[in-house]
Structure 1
Amino acid sequence: MEPTKQTLLIGGLLVDVYSHPTSTSSSTHPVHVLFFLHGRFGSTQDQNVVGTVKAIFDKTYGSGGGERKKDLIVVALDHRNHGTRLVDQQRNFAWSKDPAKNNDQHAMDMYTIQTGTAQDISFLIDHLSCFLYPSGERTIVEWGVGGISLGGHSTWIALSREPRLTLGIPIIGCPDYMKLISQRAQSSDIPLAPPYFPTSFKSYIESHDPARLAYRANDASNPFLGKKVLVLSGKEDTLVPWAASAKFVEGLEVGEGGVKRAVVEEGAGHECTSGMQREAALFVREWLEL
C-alpha cells in the first residue's frame, strides 16, 4: 500500500508529509517523525527520496513489520537553494575549470546549506505538531533524520546539534567537513586559504563541525550519546569516500543506550542503492519497535 502525502506550508517552508493510509487521526498510537533529505542538485521529488520513503513504509507497515505500537510519519523538505527554494543554481556547483560551472564559494555554499537545513529541522520540530494536529489529536514522541549525499552531511550536523533527534541515518554523507572538502580542494588546485576558505569560516568549522565535537566522550559533552545511528556508504565512492568518515565513525561513542551501525557496501559508488534503502528501512522498523 502506497504512503499518502500531504504538503504543508509552515512559516513559508513547504514540506511533504508522508504517512500510511492506516494511520488516522483517531489512532491512539504515539507518532515517530523521520525527516528525510535529498542530495545536491536534487529536491523532495527525487526518486531516491520517494523510493527510500516507500521502502521504509513497506518495511514498517508491510509484511514482516510486526505488531505496530507506534505510527510513522516521514517529512521531506528541500535544502536551501534547492527545489522550491532555488535562488541561484550556480551556487550549487563546485570548483571547475569551466567558467560556466565554476563556483569559487563552493566550500562556504555547501556548508551553509547543510547548517541552514539543520536549523530548518529544529524549526520544524518546534512547529510541525501544531500544523499536523491542531486539536491535539496525536502526540509526536520521537524525532529522527536521514538523508542522501548532501542530505547525509546535513543529517550529521542536525544530529550533533538538535538534542530532540534520537535517530540518524546518513547515507553516503560525511561527518568531517574539512577532511572531505580539503580533498576536493586539493584535486581542484584550490588552496585552503582566503578567499576560498576565509579565516572566520574555518574558525566556525573548528568550533561547530561534528568531527570537532566530543564525539568520543562517554559523558554529557558528547551530543551523540544515547542516539541510534546507522551509517551507509559505498566502498567505491570517490565523491564522498568512506576514508573521509571512517576515523569518526570508528571512534563515535553512543553509550549503552545508543546504537551504532555502519554498512559499507561492496561495489557501490556514490549512490543510494536498494540495499541501502533496505538497511535504512529495517533500522527505522527497529526504532518503532523499541
Structure 2
Amino acid sequence: MTTSQTAITLNGLDLSVYGLTEYKKLDPGTPAAVMFAIHGRLQDRTKMEAISQVLCSLNGNKGGTLKPRHLIVVTFDHENHGSRLKDKTLNYSWKKDSKRHNPNHAMDQWRMMQAAAQTVTGLMDVLESHLFDKPVVDIWGVLGFSMGAHSSYLVAANDPRISVHISLVGTGDFIGLLHARLANGGFPSEYLPDDFCDRVLATYDGLADKLATKKVLMINGGEDTMVPFDRNDGLVNAFLASHDGSRGRDWDRIVVPGLGHAWCPEMFYLCSAWCKQWMLDSDPDFSLVLPPSCFSP
C-alpha cells in the first residue's frame, strides 16, 4: 500500500511529508519518529520517494500488534536544486575538458552540505509544532544519499536531537575525498585552498566522539569510484575504539560488492531493518543481519 505524501511549506521551504495522513488517524498523542531524507547532488527530493515509501511501510498493524510509534519521513530540496534551482552550473563538479566543469566545486558543494544540515536543525525547531497539536516526536533521524549523506554526518554530529543516522554512498571525510579527487584528476591545487580546507576540517573535529552515542549505519559501494568506501575507514577505526555501542548492533559500515555510486536493493533492506529497530520497535536482542551479497569490513 502506498503511503500518503503531504506537501507543506515551512520556513519558506517546500517539504514532502510521508505518513502524516496515516498518523492523523491514530489515537491522539501517539508517539512519532521523524526521519529526514536528503537527496544527492544534481537530484531533487523526488529521488528520496522510494526510500521514504519503504520506511513508512514499516508503520501499521502487522502481526496483530501496533507499533509503539509512527514513522514519518520528511524530504526537501538542497539549496540550488529542484524547486530552489538558480544556477545549475554551481552544482557541477570538477570535469576535465567539459562544459560541466566547475572550478569552485569544493566551495559550492560544501556550502550546500552545510545548508542542508542547518535546514534539518531549523526544521526540528518548528516542525513538530506545525504538524501536531502537542509534542509527540521522541526520536529524530537523518538519512542521506551521496551529497545528502555527506550533509547527514554534519547534522547528526552537531545536533543532539538526532539519534539515528544513515549514510548511503557518503563519507564523513569530505576534505580527504576532495584531495583524492584532485590528485586522481590532475586538477590544480588552487581548486582546494589551504584556508578553506582548514575551516572545513575544523568542522569535523571530534566527529567520531560526537557520533559515539548515535545509531550510525554507513552503506557504501564496493566499486564506487566517486565516494570509495575506504573514505570511511578512519571513522570505522575510531568507532571501534570509542563508540559507546557494539558493531552490528549500534553502528556498522556495510559494503555492497559490485555496487558503484548508486542505489541498490540491499540499501532498502538494511535501512528498513535499522529504522525498525531504532525508530519504531526496539528488540533487545537485535543484531543487523546482512544480505548474502554484503560484507562489513
Same-fold status (TM-score > 0.5) = yes
Confirm whether residue 144 of structure 1 aligns to residue 141 of structure 2.
Answer: yes
Q: Aligned pair in 2 of structure 1 residues 61, 207: CA closer, same or farther (>3 Å)? A: same
- Which residue in the other structure is 2:109 paired with? 110
Aligned-partner residue type, residue 205 of structure 1: V
2:181 to 177, 180, 184: 184
Alignment CA distance shift 1:181-1:65 (3 Å): farther
Q: 1:265 to 1:244 in 2, by over 3 A?
A: same
Tell me if the contact between 1:19 and 1:73 (Cα under 8 Å) persists in the aligned partners.
yes
Q: Name the counterpart of 2:206.
A: 213
The correspondence of residues 163-174 of structure 1 with structure 2, limited to 5 A, is: 163-174=160-171
Query: 1:261 and 1:64 mapped to 2: Cα distance?
Result: 28
Q: Is the 8 A contact 1:56 1:278 kept in 2?
A: no
RMSD between superposed Cα atoms in Å? 2.0
Counterpart of 2:163, as a letter, is: T
Could you tell me the TM-score, scaled by structure 1's length? Answer: 0.89
Structure 2 residue aligned with 1:56: 55
TM-score (norm 2): 0.87
Query: Displacement, 1:126?
Result: 0.3
2:192 corresponds to 1:197: yes
Cα separation, 2, equivalents of 1:79 and 1:161: 19
Given that residues 3 and 53 in structure 2 are in contact (C-alpha distance below 8 angstroms), is that contact kept between their aligned partners in structure 1? yes
Structure 2 partner of 1:264: 255
- Deviation of residue 225 (structure 1)? 2.3
Structure 2 regions of 5+ residues with no counterpart? 283-297
Answering whether residue 222 of structure 2 is matched by residue 230 of structure 1, we say no
Residue 31 (structure 1) aligns with: 32
* Separation in 2, partners of 1:132, 1:98: 48
**Counterparts of 2:161 and 2:183, CA distance in 1:** 37
> More relative contact order in 1 or in 2 (CA 8 Å, sep 6+)?
1
> What residue number does 2:295 align with?
none
| Stretch deviating more after TM superposition (86-95 or 258-267) | 258-267
Match of 2:119 in 1: 120
State whether residues 60 and 284 of structure 1, in contact with CA within 8 Å, keep that contact through their aligned partners in structure 2: no
Instruction: Name stretches of at least 5 consecutive residues in structure 1 with no aligned partner.
Output: 216-221
Structure 1 equivalent of residue 244 of structure 2 = 255
Q: CA deviation at 1:228?
A: 0.3
Query: Cα deviations across residues 246-277 of structure 1 (Å, max 9, x unaligned)?
Result: 22123223304981122111221111101111
What's the % identity of the aligned pairs? 28
Does the C-alpha gap of structure 1 residues 159 and 86 become closer, same or farther in structure 2, counting only changes over 3 Å? same
- Structure 2 match to 1:219: none
Separation in 1 of the partners of 2:163 and 2:237?
19
